[in-house]
Amino acid sequence: MTTSDPDSSPTTGTGADPAGSPDSPARSLPRRTFLGLLVVAGVIGAGAVTAARDRTAAARGFTAIAGTADASLAPVAEAGFGDTVPVLDRPVTGLGVQRAFSLHPSLSLGGRWPVLTGQDAFNGRVEAWVRQAVADCANKYANAGVFTPVATPVPGHAADGSYVAPADAVDAADAMRANGSPDRADAAETVGLFAGSVLDTSGLAGSTRGDIDTLLADRAEFPAPQEHGHLIAIACDTTLAAGTVLGVQLRASRAATIDGAHRSLFEQRQSVFVDIATGTCGAGDSLLTAAGRDTAIARLRTLLGSVAPADIGTSRRDAPAYDPLQDALDAGTLLDDVSVDPAGQLVVRLAVTADRIDDAQRHAWADGLRTPGLLCIRVALDDSAWTDLGSTVRAAAMAETPWAGPARAAASDAQAAGTQATFTTGDALPASARARAAGTTPADAAGASAEEAARSATLVAGTTTTSAVPTRTADEVTVPTEDGPVRPTAYAWPVPCDLVPAAAVTFDDGPGEYTAEILAAFAAAGVHGSFMVEGQHAEQYPQRVRDEIAGGHTVCDHSWDHPALTDLTAAQVRDQITRTDDMVERVCGVRPRFVRPPYGFYDDTVVQASPHPLVVWDVDSLDWEEPGQRVVHDKILREASTGSIVLMHDVHEPTKAMMPGLLRDLRAAGFTVVSLATLFAHADDQAEQAVIRRLDLA
C-alpha cells in the first residue's frame, strides 16, 4: 500500500475535485462532483443536464469522472513523468460500491469500496485490505484497539447541497429502483442505492486523485469532526474496465479533528486487478516478475536521480535530498498503487510530501506532480517483465475492448454453501439410492452393491457441511421433490458485519400464508432475512421454503411441531430437529445450519442433543401479542444495535403489513439488514457456539 509520511503536515493542491456523495437517489449528483469538468468545459449552464445523465447511469454501476487525463499517452523511451491514468467516466456493469458510515467517539469510519458481482476472490481481497487498514487505525487510535461499527443515520444531499432526511432518501432510492431500474434480483444489472446503509452505487468521482482534506469535508460521505475524534476514510476509483479485466484503486486515510476540521494524518493506497474470465486477481505487485520489478526500479532511479540502492531500509529522513523511491522501497509500497495506460506502460504513483520537495525537484518533476500528493511516472517494460496476470491486464488496457461484464450473476458456490449446511443433489446419487429415497425399487436398482450404498451415504454427507450433521445411510436419503437443490437466484453482495453496522431480522413458526408477502418486502428493499421453519409447515408450504432459499435468505430449523424442547428427552429433541432437517432437505435440497428452539427454551439436554448451534435473540419484537404495528416498530428501532438478532413471526398479518416500513426505517437508522449466514460470515467462532444471541463485536 502506498503511504504518505505519517509525521508530515496535511498537503493541499490542485487537481480533480473530490466529488461528494450522491444525494437523494432520484436527483442529480452534488454539483461539486462535476466542478472540474465544468471549469474545463466552460459551460456552467450545461452542468445540471450532465449531472442528471450521469446520475441515472450511475444507478447501473459504479461510475467516476475522468478529471486528470493526460494530454498524451505516447510511449516513453524508458520512463517519464505524466499525470495519472484517468478514472473511468462510464458505468461499469456489475460493479458497485459498498458504503460504510459509522460514528463512534473513539474511531469513526466513512467511505466506500468496490464490490463486483460474482467475484468472491476479488471482493474478498478488497475487503481484506479495507479491514486491515481499519484494524491498523484502530490499533493506534481506538480506545480498546478494536473498531466497532455503530449504526449511524446517513443523510442524503440534494444537488444544491441541502440536507435530505435519511428516511426520505431511502424512499427516493426505492422509487428510483422501482421506476427506472431493472429487477433488483438481477444483481449483475442493478446496484441497489441504499441511503443510510451500504451498497450505494455512485462512486466519489476522482476520490483517489484530489486533496484528501477537501474530500473529508463532504458531510454526505464522512462524519462531522468530533472533539479529539479520529476517522478512517475509505475511497475508491475504477482505473480499468476492458474485456474481462477490471482494475480499481483504493485509498484509506487516517484523519483527526484539528481546529474543528478533519485533517489527514496518514494515507495508504492499493490497486487491485481481476480477470473475471478466470477469477484470478492480485494487487499491483502481482503484475511484474522479480526481474520486471528490478528493471522498473532501475528506470525509476535513473529518472528521479535517485541514489537508492536496490535493497531497502537504508533511507534517512535527514538525507540531503528527498528520495520518494527510497521511501517506497523502505515501506514495501513501490507497486501498491499502479495501473497500466493504453500504451501498455506501467503507471507508478509514489506518495510525496510537498514540504520535503526542494525547488530543483519540484521543477524537474512538475509534469508528474499534477495530482496532489502523488508523483506519477510511466515506465516502459518488455513483455518478459510481466506476470501472466500482468500480461492479461496490459493486453486489456492496450486493446480497450468493451467491458465484458461480470462472469455470472448467480450466487457463487461459496455463497450458496454459506447459506446452509449441506447440498444434496438427487441426480448425483446412484439409481438405487434415488429409488429408495422415492420409496420405489426398480428392477435395475434391486441389486445395488454395498459399495454403491456407501458412495450414496458419502454423497449425502456432502463436502460443504459446516455443522455436525450425522451421516445417514442410503436408505435414509431424501431428495428434492421438484427441480433439485435450490440455490440463491442472484449474487448477494458480501456485507462485512464487523465493519458495517448490521442486524438480522428473523421469523419463527412459518412458513405460512403471509410468508410470500414478507419475502416480497425483503426483495423490494434488496436485503435478506432468516426464516425459522417448522417441519410440519415446510411439508404444508414446500414452495415457500424453496422461495426463501432462492431469495438468498437463511433457513433454520424450528422443530417439527413447536414443543417446548425442555420438556422432552434427548432422543425426542433429536427427533424433532432431525425430522425437520429432513423435511427441509426433501423439499429444497438444503439442510439447515441453525436451530431456533421454540419459545427460546433450552437446557443442557437440548444443547447436547442438537446437531446445530441454537440461535435465540437479543431483541424480542413481541409481534405475536399484536400490540399494534407502531408499538412493535418502535420497540425494534429502540432496542436494536449493531449485531442484533431480532425475533419476529411470519404467521401474523400485522407483521406482514409492517415489514416494508420497518426495513425502510432500519436502513434509515444506519443498519444493513442481513441474514444469519451473513451476520456470522466473519465470526466462525461465534457461529459454532452452542447458543448464539447476537454478533458480539466487543
CA distance 419 to 406: 22
Q: Which residues of the chain fall below pLDDT 50?
A: 4-71, 159, 161, 180-199, 201, 310-315, 421-482
Q: What is the pLDDT of residue 306?
A: 86
Long-range contacts (CB closer than 8 Å, 24 or more residues apart) made by 601-607: 601/564, 601/565, 601/566, 602/565, 602/566, 602/691, 603/566, 605/566, 605/569, 605/570, 605/573, 606/565, 606/566, 606/573, 607/690, 607/691
Task: Copy the grid coordinates of residue 71.
Answer: 494530454
Which 8-state DSSP code applies to residue 504? E
CA distance 521 to 528: 10
Predicted TM-score (pTM) of this structure = 0.78
Q: What is the pLDDT of residue 461?
A: 28
Q: What is the pLDDT of residue 446?
A: 33
The residue among 244, 523, 284, 282 whose CA lies nearest residue 402 is 244
What are the distances in angstroms from CA 72 to CA 69, 240, 299, 380?
Answer: 8, 18, 20, 15
- Length of the chain as a residue count: 698
Q: Which residues have a Cβ under 8 Å from the Cβ of 319 and sit 6 or more positions away?
A: none
Q: Give the residue carrying C-alpha cell 458510515.
A: 101
Cis omega (within 30 of 0) for bond into 511: yes
Q: Which residues have a Cβ under 8 Å from the Cβ of 42 and sit 6 or more positions away?
A: none
What are the distances in angstroms from CA 188 to CA 112, 177, 515?
Answer: 19, 14, 26
Task: Copy the grid coordinates of residue 341.
Answer: 495506460
CA distance 440 to 434: 9
CA distance 409 to 398: 27
Q: What is the pLDDT of residue 332?
A: 92
CB atoms within 10 A of CB 523: 18
Q: What is the pLDDT of residue 280?
A: 96
CA distance 623 to 433: 44
Q: Which residues have a Cβ under 8 Å from the Cβ of 221 and sit 6 or more positions away?
A: 20, 21, 101, 110, 111, 112, 204, 215, 233
Which 8-state DSSP code applies to residue 288? B
Q: What domains, with CATH codes, occur in the chain?
A: 13-69+88-286 (3.30.565.40), 290-399 (no CATH), 425-476 (no CATH), 502-692 (3.20.20.370)
88-125: b (≥16 Cβ within 10 Å) or e: bbbbbbbbbbbbbbbbbebbbbbbbbbbbbbbbbbbeb
